[in-house]
Amino acid sequence: MATSAQEWWERAQRVIPGGVNSPVRSFKNVGGAPFLVRSGRGAYVTTEDGRTLVDYVMSWGPLLLGHAHPAVVEAASKAAADGLSFGAPTVAEVELAEMLCGALPGFDVVRMVNSGTEATMSALRVARAATGRSKVVKFTGCYHGHHDSLLIRAGSGAATFGVPDSAGVPERLAELTMTVPYNDLGAVRQVFREWGPEIAAVIVEPVAGNMGTVLPVPGFLEGLRQVTAEAGALLVLDEVMTGFRVAWGGAQVRYGIRPDLTCLAKVIGGGLPVAAYGGRRELMELVAPLGPVYQAGTLSGNPVGMAAGLAQLRTVGGPAFYGPLEDAAQALGRGLEEAARRHGVALSTVVAGGMLSVFFAEAAPVNFDEVARTDDRAFRRFFHALLDEGIFWPPSPYETAFVSSAHDPAVVEKTLAAAERAFTVVAAG
Ligand SMILES: *Cc1c(COP(=O)(O)O)cnc(C)c1O
């Protein structure tokens, strides 16, 4: 007899921590058991128990064209047939690097890696090497991957020194990372007044996406650019989520900010493990083999990943793609707010390109504390009610939903019809 989806989930939990290879997949934030996915096409996934769901997780961001887009699948398949990995240079790496350098003002030179975590870890190493300084500044609620220097949260009270946000991160390392509230330029200036000569870099999500979507307030990014330049520190934009997601290139194009270093992943791999970090030529020439900063990768620039990323970006084609994408996200956001209002539920939505968040609150949050004060009980009810209606929303109030070009008006309509019923459940409390 065939193994049932339930049996697979039980087997998963016996051999994989929590049954998942990345924690948010476990539904820990919303309760209940996750489903296993069998396949995906366009805006839909099909589960192992045979349900077809509209998907707003979209692999957490990479799938700008939807699941299994023919151009991406064909390019990856063709590359795979020619050999899965060489550990020697290929044409596809040059083509993707040229495309990225053409699209991002912040890229003169770019190095491919395999995950967003690796990209931010490496960018910080370059920043520390370039400045000869060791402290970094990050923002509460921004996520930059799971390496030790950035798995840090704010300490208690007024202290700006971070404390480990995970067991196993040494406190002495955490002390090198200072944490301030998102959108709070005054707090950044204060940290620089106190520690300026020791600060190597400020790292920021230019549109925050890992506490739900939180937009930068006017002047915030410009202020970071100015403060870092004045202090001889580097500005690192973590565009792992926003790169080619909120604009062609990324948020640096949308907001006109020129960083010293930029990190990319997600969209640039088309669904395969591809990431990159890059920046000004003289900074990136510090990286081996040219310079003293060591960074390497057996599978970096993998030909199948390069082919998938190139095919996705070539299909996207340029800036014109993003108007209709954002229109779809806005239509969904507006529709959700209107439906919530009809049911007397307080809801605000935030959209940037193909990023969309719902917050159960009257107004859109501007920082992590405000996100934390939204109604997560209402979110859990909303999530499960939508899932019952065939819509897979990200299983956490701290995650962003992703709209792809496959989320056409019919998909948006279907989602809004489901949401109308879901808000009845939310309103019932
Ligand atoms: C997803 C994400 C990362 C981590 O990328 P991984 O590929 O999961 O290691 C880093 N920064 C941001 C802004 C992200 O959204």
Evaluate whether 236 touches 124 at the Cβ level (below 8 Å). yes
pLDDT digits (tens, 9 = 90+) for 189-234: 999 999 999 999 999 999 999 999 999 999 999 999 999 999 999 9
At 21-55, the pLDDT tens digits run: 999 999 999 999 999 999 999 999 999 999 999 99
Q: With contact defined as beta carbons under 8 Å apart, do 98 and 111 qualify?
A: no
Q: How far apart are CA 110 and CA 153, in angstroms?
A: 29
**Looking only at Cα atoms, what is the longest distance across the chain?**
68
Residue 305 half-sphere exposure toward CB, CA atoms < 13 A = 23
In angstroms, rounded to a whole number, what is the distance separating the alpha carbons of residues 429 and 422? 11
Question: Regarding predicted confidence, which is higher, 41 or 157?
Answer: 41
Confidence of residue 162 (pLDDT cuts 50, 70, 90): confident
Give the long-range contacts of residues 11-15, CB within 8 A, separation 24 or more: 12/36
The span from the CA of 149 to the CA of 101, in Å, is: 27
CATH number 1.10.10.10 given to 70-316: no
Determine which one of 143, 255, 277, 322 is catalytic: 143
- Residue 118 Cα, ligand 1 centroid: separation in angstroms? 9
Q: What is the pLDDT of residues 370-400, one digit of tens each?
A: 999 999 999 999 999 999 999 999 999 999 9
Mutation test of ligand 1: which of 21, 24, 114, 117 has the most ligand atoms closer than 8 Å to its C-beta?
117
Predicted confidence at residue 1, as pLDDT, reads 64
Q: Is 157's pLDDT higher than 90?
A: no
Per the annotation, the verdict on 238 as an active-site residue is: yes
- Residue 398 is a catalytic residue: no
* Whole-angstrom distance, CA of residue 421 vs CA of residue 263: 40
Tell me which residue of 155, 143, 142 sits closest to 191, measured CA to CA: 155
Closest residue by CA, ligand 1 atom 10: 144
Angstrom distances, CA of residue 129 to CA of 120, 192, 233, 236, 363:
14, 19, 11, 14, 42
pLDDT tens readout for residues 54-107: 999 999 999 999 999 999 999 999 999 999 999 999 999 999 999 999 999 999
DSSP state of 34: P
- Determine the distance separating the centroid of ligand 1 and the alpha carbon of 400, expressed in angstroms: 12
Tell me, in angstroms, the distance from the centre of ligand 1 to residue 371's CA. Answer: 19
Residue 159: the pLDDT is 59
Backbone conformation region of residue 70, classed left if phi is above 0, alpha if psi is from -120 to 50, else beta: alpha
Residue 143 annotated as catalytic: yes
Of all residues in the chain, the percent with pLDDT exceeding 70 is: 99
Q: Identify the CATH number of the domain defined by range 5-68+320-428.
A: 3.90.1150.10
Q: Measuring CA to CA, how many Å separate 400 from each of 60, 303, 332?
A: 8, 29, 14
Strands (DSSP E) contained in 52-117 are 52-55, 109-113
DSSP state of 227: H
Question: What's the token pair of residue 15?
Answer: 């051999």
Identify whether the C-beta of residue 138 lies closer than 8 Å to the C-beta of residue 121: no
Q: Do residues 250 and 262 make contact, with C-beta atoms less than 8 angstroms apart?
A: yes
Separation of CA 117 and ligand 1 centre (Å): 6
Instruction: Say if residues 191 and 160 touch (Cβ distance below 8 Å).
Output: yes
Give the pLDDT band of residue 3 (cuts 50, 70, 90). Answer: confident
3-state secondary structure at position 381: helix
Question: For the chain, which residues make up each domain, given as ranges?
Answer: 5-68+320-428, 70-316
- Supply the pLDDT for residue 158: 56
Task: Answer positive or negative: Cα dihedral of 418, 423, 426, 428.
Answer: negative
Which ligand 1 atom sits closest to the C-alpha of 242? 13
> Looking up tokens 């968040």, which residue turns up?
357
Helix (H) or strand (E) holding 262: strand 261-264
Q: How many Å lie between the centroid of ligand 1 and the Cα of residue 120?
A: 8
Catalytic residue among 55, 138, 238, 322: 238
Q: Contact 105/258 with Cβ under 8 angstroms?
A: yes
The mean predicted confidence, pLDDT, of the chain is 96
Pocket of ligand 1 (CB under 6 A): 115-117, 120, 143-145, 205, 209-210, 238, 240-241, 265, 275
DSSP string, 119-132: HHHHHHHHHHHHHT
Q: Per-residue pLDDT for 407 more than 90?
A: yes
What pLDDT score does 2 carry?
Answer: 76
Integer Cα distance of 366 and 369 in angstroms: 9
- Report which DSSP code applies to 36: P
